[in-house]
């Protein structure tokens, strides 16, 4: 009991330190600003979603945003009662707490001490909104639905590496309820990871696999109606499709690989090069000294990241002929842009 208590205290201390490092960089960084984070966009929508009488006739605030239902219910209520700035700070604290917890738990799985964990955290997050490997993706910064989703996923990954698949599916389902694309791509990556070594993973689950899938579906319940609506709604007629405007005019820096700056491609190549080089060194070291739990965790995290890159490769192929953005609008370049820097 004393050892367990000491271990919990050590983990809590590490989470607190990492949380402080993240907060020093981001907690009061341009709250409710549209220059970097999206709070000035999503938080007014959340307030109007809860309080329909607030700027009731504004066309933008009355856009349909049921795909962020869970986020808007929670944080819209906070905004109504405590205001925008307080909600921004409280929401960021929650997100940073989840990210810090996930990083510490993952660091323990990989055998990182606190010093190395802090160095990795700074290298991973102190790049502002360019935390992803390419195309300007970020996961820690302002308050929005994807920030909550990434926080839940960061906690889910070490649970997955530890064999706690029920907890993993619960967190992935909640992440999907907050942000269907972030959580959805993370779920598909996890499913691919489970199938990669079926004898050691998915086949050993037996009938429990249905409990896991049921847990994910139940936890992602808020994402199901908007997903079904998106997939079954006919595209409006016109000379320019909404998906074309969204992909090629509104968000080409996220969705159109032909619009990405060459420096970003160089950054992606550097990440891949360092990742492969380090993985090779660590594997040779494990072969020489004997495989330990941290070595298996490193290998499995690399496998997970490799699977997350599959949508990226497919998205690159799709970009060659998807001139309307009908497939690119579903962000095939999203999840792996975070996983690659994280694993590296």
Which pLDDT tens digit goes with each residue over 295-336? 999 999 999 999 999 999 999 999 999 988 889 988 888 888
Between the two ends of the chain, the Cα-to-Cα distance in Å is: 35
**Mean per-residue pLDDT, 221-249:** 83
Distance of alpha carbon 14 from alpha carbon 183, whole angstroms:
26
Task: Reply yes or no on whether the pLDDT at 3 is more than 70.
Answer: no
pLDDT for 240: 80
Distance of alpha carbon 172 from alpha carbon 160, whole angstroms:
11
Helix (H) or strand (E) holding 47: helix 39-50
pLDDT for 205: 81
pLDDT for 236: 67
Task: Using alpha carbons, list the distances in angstroms from residue 36 to 140, 282, 318.
Answer: 12, 37, 29
Structure tokens, 25: 């960089």
Which of 121-130, 150-159, 259-268 holds the top average pLDDT? Answer: 150-159
**Mean per-residue pLDDT, 175-188:** 95
Which pLDDT tens digit goes with each residue over 43-69? 999 999 999 989 988 888 888 788 889
Distance of alpha carbon 138 from alpha carbon 309, whole angstroms:
17
pLDDT for 241: 82
pTM of the model: 0.93
pLDDT for 1: 61
Distance of alpha carbon 226 from alpha carbon 243, whole angstroms:
16
pLDDT tier for residue 185 given thresholds of 50, 70 and 90: very high
All residues at 6 or more sequence positions from 314 whose CB lies less than 8 Å from its CB, including other chains:
332
């Amino acid at each position: 009991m004393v050892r367990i208590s000491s271990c919990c205290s050590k983990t809590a201390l590490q989470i607190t330190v990492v949380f402080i490092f993240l907060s020093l960089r981001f907690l009061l960084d341009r709250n409710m600003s549209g220059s970097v984070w999206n709070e000035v966009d999503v938080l007014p929508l959340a307030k109007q979603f809860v309080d329909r009488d607030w700027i009731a006739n504004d066309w933008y605030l009355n856009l349909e945003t049921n795909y962020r239902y869970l986020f808007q219910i929670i944080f819209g209520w906070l905004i109504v009662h405590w205001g925008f700035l307080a909600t921004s700070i409280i929401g960021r604290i929650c997100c940073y707490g989840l990210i810090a917890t996930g990083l510490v738990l993952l660091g323990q799985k990989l055998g990182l001490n606190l010093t190395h964990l802090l160095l990795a955290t700074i290298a991973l997050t102190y790049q502002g909104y360019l935390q992803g490997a390419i195309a300007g993706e970020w996961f820690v910064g302002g308050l929005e639905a994807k920030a909550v989703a990434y926080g839940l996923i960061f906690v889910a990954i070490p649970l997955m590496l530890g064999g706690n698949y029920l907890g993993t599916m619960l967190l992935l389902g909640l992440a999907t309820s907050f942000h269907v694309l972030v959580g959805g791509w993370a779920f598909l990556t996890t499913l691919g990871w489970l199938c990669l070594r079926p004898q050691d993973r998915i086949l050993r689950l037996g009938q429990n696999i249905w409990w896991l899938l049921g847990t994910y579906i139940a936890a992602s319940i808020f994402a199901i109606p908007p997903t079904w609506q998106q997939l079954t709604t006919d595209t409006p007629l016109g000379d320019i499709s909404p998906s074309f405007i969204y992909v090629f005019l509104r968000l080409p820096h996220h969705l159109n690989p032909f619009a990405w700056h060459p420096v970003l491609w160089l950054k992606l190549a550097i990440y891949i090069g360092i990742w492969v080089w380090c993985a090779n060194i660590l594997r040779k070291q494990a072969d020489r000294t004997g495989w330990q739990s941290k070595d298996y965790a490193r290998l499995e995290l690399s496998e997970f990241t490799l699977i997350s890159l599959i949508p990226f490769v497919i998205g690159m192929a799709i970009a060659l002929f998807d001139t309307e953005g009908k497939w690119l609008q579903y962000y095939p370049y999203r999840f792996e842009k975070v996983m690659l820097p994280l694993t590296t």
